[in-house]
Homo-oligomer: A and B are copies of this chain.
Amino acid sequence: MVGQRSRVLELAVLGLLHEAPMHGYELRKRLNATLGAFRAFGYGSLYPCLKELLAHGLIAEEAPETTDGAAKPLSRRSKIVYRLTADGKERLQQLLAESGPDAWEDDGFGVHFAFFSQTQADIRLRILEGRRSRLEERLDGVRAAMARTRERMDSYTLELHRHGLESVEREVRWLNELIASEREADIGPGRGGGHHPGGRADPGAAD
């Protein structure tokens, strides 16, 4: 076994290809648009990943619009459109069903969250709660460290930690809202697969 692609990129690629078949160049744009500021991938990561997914049979090349006699479908350099295979769909489901550390650590959380609409409600909840615990652990750690070394810290270091702490606290509050929203959606209507996290009560009035 060679390349052991990173879970993050693999999930993102499979998730996007599940929505629609695409070629690499486009995939990269959608990738960085979807993940936003969390993460950015270059071709140097993407193409080897596609190559490996292909080798493992999780994705396949599609013949690119052979309207004519299909004399030279992909003889030279041209667009290569990839689509998910059955195995790929299965693998995607498997990745989406993960609710362990991979899904709530800094690296993985953003991607898993980005594909929450394809994730089961109970898994969503477990990931959100896992991330919250993780962040609360971190809060405890930083707060303890600050208490221990407050005297030796100059005002800039202190300010840095204060701001860092506040950022994490903010994310915890955000998670609390999301978790509440998920629970509500789960018990409200009799259905089990609701999806509407946008229940924020302040449209406009930003900044």
Please report A residues at the B interface, Cβ cutoff 8 Å.
33-34, 36-38, 110, 113-117, 138, 142, 145, 148-149, 153-161, 163-171, 174, 178, 195-198, 206-207
Inter-chain contact B154/A37, CB cutoff 8 Å: no
22 A-B pairs, CB-CB below 8 angstroms? A33-B145, A33-B148, A34-B157, A36-B142, A36-B161, A37-B142, A38-B164, A113-B160, A114-B156, A114-B157, A115-B156, A116-B156, A155-B196, A155-B197, A155-B198, A156-B195, A156-B197, A159-B198, A163-B171, A163-B174, A167-B167, A169-B207
Name the one of B36, B161, B166, B206 contacting A145, with C-beta atoms under 8 angstroms: B36
Least Cβ distance of A76 to chain B in Å?
32
Complex partner residue of A33 from B149, B158, B167, B174, CB under 8 angstroms? B149
Tell me whether B159 and A197 are in contact (CB under 8 A).
Answer: yes
Distance from A207 Cβ to chain B, minimum over Cβ atoms (Å): 6
Copies in the complex: 2
Please report whether the interface of chain A is mostly helix, strand, loop or mixed according to DSSP.
helix
Partner of A168, one of B37, B157, B158, B169: B37
